[in-house]
Amino acid sequence: MAQLPRTRLLVITGKGGVGKSTVAAAVAEALARTGKRVLLCEVNSGGRATALLGFPAAGPELRRLEGELWSVDVRPAEAMREYVLKRIRVERVYRALFENPLVRAFLRFIPSLAETVMLGKVLWHVRDTEAGRPRWDVVVTDAPATGHALTFLGVPQVLLKTLPPGTMAEEATWMRDLLVDQDVTKAVVVALPEELPILESLELGAGLRALHLDVSAVVLNQATEPRFLPEDLTALAPFPRLESLAQAHADTARRTEEAVHRLGALGAPVVKLPRLYQGTMDRASVEALGQRLLNGFAGWT
């Protein structure tokens, strides 16, 4: 990620349950601490990433959390309203058309409409300006999980294959161009040292590359570093319980190293986040993980 000074959009994704919201929160907070103006953009997630930082869950309106760190949760209904109002600019017309129950029922049958307006809002924040300069140094996006992420990020290219020339095709074009600009948009894949998350991460990386998105980093969450040499395990043989615990730790560390090797097929640097043995994730833990991420990837700051 040596190009981060130009990077405007970090897309954090991965299999559900691997900790992508934690990574998004940690990266956003850590970057804001370096002086960057950061928008933590959650995609219809209920504000999980913001809550991990100790704040009330993000809502559909921009909200300053602290310093240069802001948040927003992009939801389909609010994103649709915002998009349409930017186009027709008359709220009473919007209400007459888009709050009509028949129209709303019809809109639900348009393929990928929700993904289109939500992705459009995310990318609008990337392009947003204030006093002649980008409003946000970085938009950190807690994107949908695996399969939904590919649908979400692939919407512009699907639209361009199916739409005739016109307003929607023009919208799809700028969205696609922003996503595939590897100096502007970076994808970060989050995984666990377990079989299914690794397989899904490899498939996700291939899918992102098929969409011409730059997979610039892989985060291996809940990694375990080796502590015991073979001779240590031998020395613990007279103590079966201790030997069992040490062997379990060694096996987990081995799986971590195997995961790093397999995820290397994505062609991006892998940073390991340690397994935290605690009941809940608190703010201090998120900050520690964020600092580790910044240290792990040269160029993030």
Work out the mean pLDDT of the chain and round it to a whole number: 84
Q: Do the beta carbons of residue 31 and residue 301 sit within 8 Å?
A: yes
Angle, CA of 181, 185 and 188, to the nearest 5°: 135
Q: For residue 82, what pLDDT is reported?
A: 67
CATH architecture of 9-222+279-294: 3-Layer(aba) Sandwich (3.40)
Whole-number Å distance between alpha carbons of 260 and 219: 10
**pLDDT digits over 77-122, tens only?**
776 666 655 554 444 544 544 454 544 443 454 456 678 788 988 9
pTM for the predicted model, two decimal places: 0.86
Retrieve residue 114's tokens: 């929700």
For 265, which DSSP code?
G
Q: Which of 160-164, 214-218, 258-262 bottoms out in mean pLDDT, i.e. has the lowest?
A: 160-164
Q: Which of 106-120, 121-135, 144-158, 208-222 bottoms out in mean pLDDT, i.e. has the lowest?
A: 106-120
Q: So where are the chain's domains?
A: 9-222+279-294
Whole-number Å distance between alpha carbons of 279 and 49: 17
Instruction: Point out which residues pair with 215 in neighbouring strands.
Output: 187
Per-residue pLDDT at 278 exceeds 80: no
